[in-house]
Amino acid sequence: ISICRDLPNIEVITFSVNGISDLEPLNQCQNLSELYLRKNNIASLNELFYLKNLPRLRVLWLSENPCCGSDPHRYRMTVLRNLPSLQKLDNQAVTDEELSQALIDGEEITAPPARRNVENGCPESTESSAAESTTETESELLNFSLEETNKIREELGMKPVPRDKFSSFSPRETDCNRKKRNNVLNAILLLMKELDAEGLEIVQQTVGRRLQALRKKELQEE
């Protein structure tokens, strides 16, 4: 998600099922209108502090994050009090009545959340870390990455990658390595959306050479 600091003009971001916990890199995305963050690791609604100054944000999907808590009314009211320009929250339209009620029932967020200590780019282990590595989450993450990858390949005029050929996350990999690997993929996909036709042709040629080299290496190993 840190790549967003270099994409101030991006308008739509889809980061669902990505292990994201920090929204600070989004606070400079002044053209952002749609943000999809379903099923991540956002622990505190104070992360909304980084979205309060995004004038064009109209759609936010934040459900299935720890910050939603056990009180859906309080959660929705707090989000709408701090982001009153939203037109849709968690795939549900925002009404004028809700915005008025949010001023009463919602909590005003005036400061960013406190950060945990990190080492080598990975948060310290917690009891919830095991839950983040469930088979369901890994399967959703693979489906999401495969869909996005094939969408880009289609734009480049390349054949889609079959699911059985797509590089999945090995269970032997650490949770941190899985997140880093997926972050790299998402960074590449985001940057490619910023390219024009000439830039995409360069990427296509580079990807072709890279694939040939990898296939040659695989044949040699066999």
Nearest to 151 by CA among 160, 140, 164, 143: 160
pLDDT digits (tens, 9 = 90+) for 59-99: 999 999 999 999 999 999 999 999 999 999 998 999 999 99
Angle in degrees, CA 100, 103, 105, rounded to 5: 105
pLDDT value for 206 = 82
Judging by beta carbons within 10 Å of its beta carbon (0-12, 13-18, 19+), is residue 138 exposed, middle or buried?
middle
Let me know: does 203 contact 156? Beta carbons within 8 Å: yes
Predicted pLDDT of residue 37: 92
Question: Contact, 107 vs 78, CB < 8 A?
Answer: yes
The bridge status of strand 92-93 relative to strand 88-89 is antiparallel
Q: What is the pTM (predicted TM-score) of this model? A: 0.56
pLDDT at residue 148 in the model: 58
Angle at 171 between CA 167 and CA 173, to 5 degrees: 80
CATH, range 2-105:
3.80.10.10
What residues of the chain score a pLDDT lower than 70?
A: 115-159, 161-184, 186-187, 190, 222
What residue spans define the domains of the chain?
A: 2-105
One-letter amino acid of 169: F
Distance CA 15, CA 83 (A): 19
Q: Point out which residues pair with 14 in neighbouring strands.
A: 36
What pLDDT shows up at residue 113? 87
pLDDT at 161: 61
The pLDDT value given to residue 114: 80
Note the pLDDT of residue 106: 93
Sheet strands (E) in the chain: 12-14, 34-36, 59-61, 88-89, 92-93, 118-119, 122-123
pLDDT of residue 81: 95
pLDDT value at residue 95: 94
What was the pLDDT predicted at 78? 96
pLDDT at 133: 43
How many CB atoms neighbour CB 80 within 10 A?
A: 23
